[in-house]
Amino acid sequence: MIQQRANFDWMLKELYDGVPGIEMIVVLSADGLRIARYAGDPDAADRVAAACAGLQSLASAVAQEIPTSDGEMNLVVIEMNGGYFYLMAAGANAYLAVLADVRCEPGHMSANMRDLVVRIGSHLTSPPRHSGQTV
């Protein structure tokens, strides 16, 4: 679970303020449930979180085909007309997703996301849920 939610929110805001073009930041569990968000619509954040579970699974499956890989997904970047999507592993069973417009510089975004994950990765850990358990 996320510890000290208020402190966590300001850290997401710091990423938002530090990288031009961010539209939404979503922290999610491996099974696609939104843990937290900064900016953007809450319903859209839920849809993004659900989609990220599939992307993470697909990226991990592809990673297993690389002989020198441990099969874990670290970062997925999708460039679209009008913007970018980033999905980064952010702790055990947790991920950080960012949607950004064309003002975003991809290298700057990746570096800032990685810095955030390093600083607060232990707070982003989402323990596995058991049958019948809700968040």
Closest CA to 31 of 96, 98, 93, 88: 93
- How many structural domains does the chain have? 1
Residue 105 domain boundaries: 5-124
> How big is the CA angle at 44 (ends 26 and 120), to the nearest 5 degrees?
5
Instruction: With respect to residue 79, please indicate whether it lies within any of the assigned structural domains.
Output: yes
Which has the closest alpha carbon to 26: 98, 129, 117? 98
pLDDT classification of 126: cutoffs 50, 70, 90: low
pLDDT over 70 (residue 129): no
Q: Output the domain CATH number for residue 104.
A: 3.30.450.30
Looking at the domain assignment, is residue 11 inside a domain?
A: yes
φ/ψ of residue 71, rounded to 5? 85, 5
Q: Is residue 130 part of a domain?
A: no
pLDDT tens per residue across span 67-95: 998 888 899 999 999 999 999 999 888 99
